[in-house]
């Protein structure tokens, strides 16, 4: 689900990470606060689609990114439909998808290291209250890095369970996944020390 940088020369690629992050934050707030009906959502979505085209990504890439959000769409929509009328639930879900697609566009056009540098600079003033910007940036980077690893563990556990004739079930997936993830965290801790990031 977390997209990675795709090299390119578009204006969006060339824009520094700091302004992109600020624009993302402002647009996300605007969409969340003001996009109160389907027309506003459609307008915001059109803007995001235009951004993808401006960055050199075609309709296939947009559809690919949307497909990766299918579970978010399902969970957001289903949980809201229980309590809210369908049009309101659909508008809220549209808002979430638009903001996530916008955030994805930023990560697709910005190197992770540039994003981290921008975050570290942005969090600089918080040093006075004990926040370590470098550590926050490192945690963000490692979160992005570790997602495919955990997904790989989940896939290998499901394969092992299928190979032994068990139907894949969430209940029997969680415990081995937790054990493997903790072991990975332990090894990653060693790697951090070994690479001087204590």
Is residue 156 a contact point for other proteins (CB under 8 A)?
Answer: no
Q: Which of 113, 124, 126, 166 binds other proteins (CB under 8 A)?
A: 113
CB 38 within 8 A of CB 45: no
Is residue 195 a contact point for other proteins (CB under 8 A)?
Answer: yes
Whose Cβ is closer to other proteins: residue 4's or residue 22's? 4
Instruction: Name the CA dihedral angle for 8, 11, 16, 18, rounded to a multiple of 10 degrees.
Output: -110
Is residue 6 a contact point for other proteins (CB under 8 A)?
Answer: yes
Is residue 188 a contact point for other proteins (CB under 8 A)?
Answer: yes
CB 93 within 8 A of CB 38: no
Q: Which region among 31-39, 83-91, 166-174, 187-195 touches other proteins (by CB under 8 A)?
A: 187-195
Whose Cβ is closer to other proteins: residue 131's or residue 149's? 149
- Of 197, 11, 16, the closest CA to residue 111 belongs to 16
State the Cα–Cα distance between residues 111 and 32, nearest whole angstrom: 26
Is residue 191 a contact point for other proteins (CB under 8 A)?
Answer: yes
Is residue 14 a contact point for other proteins (CB under 8 A)?
Answer: no
CA distances from 35 to 106, 142, 174 (A): 20, 33, 38
Q: Which of 77, 103, 141, 172 binds other proteins (CB under 8 A)?
A: 141
């Amino acid at each position: 689900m977390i997209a990675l940088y795709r090299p390119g020369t578009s204006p969006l690629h060339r824009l520094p990470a700091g302004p992109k992050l600020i624009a993302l934050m402002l647009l996300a707030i605007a969409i969340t606060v003001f996009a109160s009906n389907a027309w506003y959502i459609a307008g915001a979505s059109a803007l995001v689609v235009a951004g993808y085209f401006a960055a050199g990504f075609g309709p296939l890439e947009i559809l690919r990114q949307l497909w990766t959000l299918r579970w978010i769409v399902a969970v957001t929509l289903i949980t809201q439909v229980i309590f809210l009328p369908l049009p309101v639930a659909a508008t809220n879900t549209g808002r979430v998808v638009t903001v996530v697609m916008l955030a994805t566009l930023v990560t697709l056009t910005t190197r992770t290291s540039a994003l981290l540098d921008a975050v570290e600079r942005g969090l600089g003033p918080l040093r006075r209250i004990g926040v370590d910007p470098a550590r926050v940036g490192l945690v963000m980077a490692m979160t992005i890095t570790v997602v495919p690893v955990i997904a790989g563990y989940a896939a290998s556990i499901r394969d092992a369970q299928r190979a032994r004739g068990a139907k894949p079930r969430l209940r029997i997936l969680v415990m081995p996944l937790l054990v493997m993830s903790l072991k990975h965290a332990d090894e990653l801790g060693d790697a951090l020390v070994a690479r001087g990031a204590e």
